Amino acid sequence: MVTSSDDADNLNLDAIVAPPFESTEVVSNQDDASTVHSPGLRALAETIYDPIPPLREIRAKLIKVGEDGIADADNDLENNSVLLEDPDGFAIQPAVLSTWAYMLALLFDGQRNAMQVSDAFREKYSHAIQPEQALVLQTELEKAMFLNSLSFDEKINQRLARYLKMPSWIAAHAGSAYPTEPAALKASVEGFFTAPDGPGALPDTSVVPTDLIRALVIPHIDLRVGGATYAHAYKEIIEHSKADLFIILGVSHQSTGDQLYSVSQKDFETPCGIVRNARVISSRLHLASGANDLAAELAHRGEHSIEFQTTLLQSLIVDRYNRPIEIVPILCGNIDSFLARDENPFQNDEFIRFSNALRNELENCGRTWCLLCSVDLSHVGPEFGHSSMIDERLLKPLERMDLKMLKFIEKLDADGFYNEIVRTQNSRHVDAVLAVLTMLSSTRRTLKGGKLLNYDQMMKESSHSAVSFAAMSFEQAGEVV
């Protein structure tokens, strides 16, 4: 433990901002820089009397950096470090600070100058630092894009302008969640079907599908983890769907505002080719969502709940079975705001407007469609904010709770499903809620009861946490009206 001292050299303030990860992103300096800045932004402090821009909202995790790389922190806090991550994804890569540098950075509130930061640090931690050290840390954090400064705003405006101009979203998770080479990807996907819990070998390429299936619940868990469950769902598409239009209801994991729906009007790149966007439909649904153009697109940046489905649709349905398709990519927001306000989404104007608009598109598009609800189920354990550690003996009770919840979806009982979420206050962090409610609302009288195809769980032993997921299919109740 460090004792009180006036000797600043005793404090380890070295900030390791050359992160332990390599970046592949190239930032061009040729973008149009004619941007309008948010009010109140500050330039970097040039002297110890200028206010230092504030630290951005970040994720911080205590770690230990050693010769073998990064490991979990131990009880020796003096030798631990802090990993900074950007939940908005603007920082190109994470950064690592010493614990003292991190505590110093927390004093960057946009009002204090380096002198005041130095005084506040001494008062709070009984340690002395030189004001110039605060300026050095400011510069390093700025390089890593962790300060909410004027130059950060300029860089982000330039990057956002590029996002809007891009005709398609890149395959952000290729090379990590699935292979980048088409042949390797197709071999991996084929293995999902023949895995121990899979549905069996892929149907012959000459298969002529029926037109029974109109909607499916499909995971968005890492493909390497949930491959067999994905295969159960996609076997239904191969054998029982003639759809050439896939509406994908994903989950918005990145907070880009308080809008309920974010509709992208871009194509999606995959290792096997481009998945085309049904832009006319997407454009109308975007208008119905009421979301800002930029916020709607930005929500899709790096979002896997859409990307994983486009990757499988292209590699399987388009390439293997030679069926051209288009997609409508929709991200659904979080249900927690409804729970906090004790508000029923079925009485919310935004939910009603969008669900009605989606129903209208399905009824009048003149195309054969299939709705994919790209969701996971429970997220439990310390990694997700619970105090209890999850082990094997707790997975069975988790399964019983999940299956009880899934019964409501099977019966198309939207009220029963939502009441179950309200009853538990979504304590298991089910991320499927708004997407499922939107599916059930927009397909009223179109679907008949669902069929559970597969249920599985991922045990994360390193964090004593677990995630559950399932595949479920819904047949058409009769003629689409």
One domain, residues 360 and 390: yes
Domain presence at residue 416? yes
4 or 326, which is more confident? 326
Domain presence at residue 1? no
Mean pLDDT, the chain, integer: 87
Band of pLDDT at residue 255, cut at 50, 70 and 90: low
Query: Where is 150: in which H helix or E strand?
Result: helix 150-165
Rounded Cα distance between 28 and 292, Å, is: 25
Final residue of a domain: which of 162, 191, 221?
Answer: 162
One domain, residues 136 and 21: yes
One domain, residues 348 and 266: yes
Rounded Cα distance between 398 and 380, Å, is: 9
Total domains in the chain come to 2
CATH number of residue 341's parent domain: 3.40.830.10
One domain, residues 146 and 229: no
Angle between helical axes of 433-442 and 414-424 (0-180°, round to 10): 160
Domain presence at residue 2? no
* Number of other CB atoms surrounding residue 433 within 10 Å: 25
Tens-place pLDDT, residues 308-350: 999 999 999 999 999 999 999 999 998 988 999 999 999 999 9
And the tokens for 377? 């189920």
pLDDT at 480: 41
Rounded Cα distance between 54 and 248, Å, is: 38
Looking at residues 179-189, what average pLDDT do you find?
Answer: 96
pLDDT at 11: 57
Band of pLDDT at residue 31, cut at 50, 70 and 90: very low
Residue pair 300/265 in contact (Cβ under 8 Å)? The answer is: no
Residue pair 83/63 in contact (Cβ under 8 Å)? The answer is: yes
pLDDT at 475: 96
Domain presence at residue 216? yes
Rounded Cα distance between 426 and 420, Å, is: 8
Final residue of a domain: which of 118, 136, 162?
Answer: 162
One domain, residues 181 and 251: yes
One domain, residues 182 and 70: no
SS3 (DSSP) at 70: strand
pLDDT at 15: 57
Domain presence at residue 3? no
Q: Where are the alpha helices (DSSP H) in 254-381?
A: 279-289, 293-298, 304-312, 336-341, 349-364
One domain, residues 144 and 13: yes
One domain, residues 71 and 138: yes
Tens-place pLDDT, residues 34-55: 334 454 678 899 999 999 999 9
Rounded Cα distance between 478 and 481, Å, is: 9
One domain, residues 81 and 226: no
Looking at residues 370-378, what average pLDDT do you find?
Answer: 97
Domain presence at residue 370? yes
One domain, residues 154 and 290: no
Band of pLDDT at residue 6, cut at 50, 70 and 90: very low
Tens-place pLDDT, residues 386-422: 888 999 999 999 999 999 999 999 999 999 999 999 9
Q: Dihedral of CA 391/394/400/404: which sign? A: negative
Lowest-pLDDT range of 100-114, 204-218, 291-305: 291-305
Q: Which residue has the tokens 């288009």?
A: 326
One domain, residues 155 and 181: no
Final residue of a domain: which of 121, 141, 162?
Answer: 162
pLDDT at 455: 98
Q: What's the 3-state SS for 232-286?
A: HHHHHHHHHCCCCEEEEEEECCCCCCCCCEEECCCEEEECCEEEEECHHHHHHHH
- Computed on alpha carbons and rounded to an integer, the radius of gyration of the chain in Å comes to 25
Residue pair 61/43 in contact (Cβ under 8 Å)? The answer is: no
Domain presence at residue 18? yes
Angle between helical axes of 223-240 and 182-194 (0-180°, round to 10): 80
Q: Which residue has the tokens 């004790």?
A: 342
**Res 481 pLDDT > 50:** no
pLDDT at 106: 94
SS3 (DSSP) at 426: coil
- Which of 68, 28, 49, 265 is closest to 169 using CA atoms? 265
And the tokens for 408? 């409501």
- Which of 145, 148, 62, 57 is closest to 100 using CA atoms? 62
Report how far Cα 87 is from the mean position of its chain's Cα atoms: 10
For the chain, report the end-to-end CA distance as a whole number of angstroms. Answer: 71
One domain, residues 218 and 143: no
Expressed as residue numbers, the domain containing 115 is 8-162
What pTM was computed for the model? 0.76
Strands 273-277, 326-332: pairing kind: parallel
Domain presence at residue 68? yes
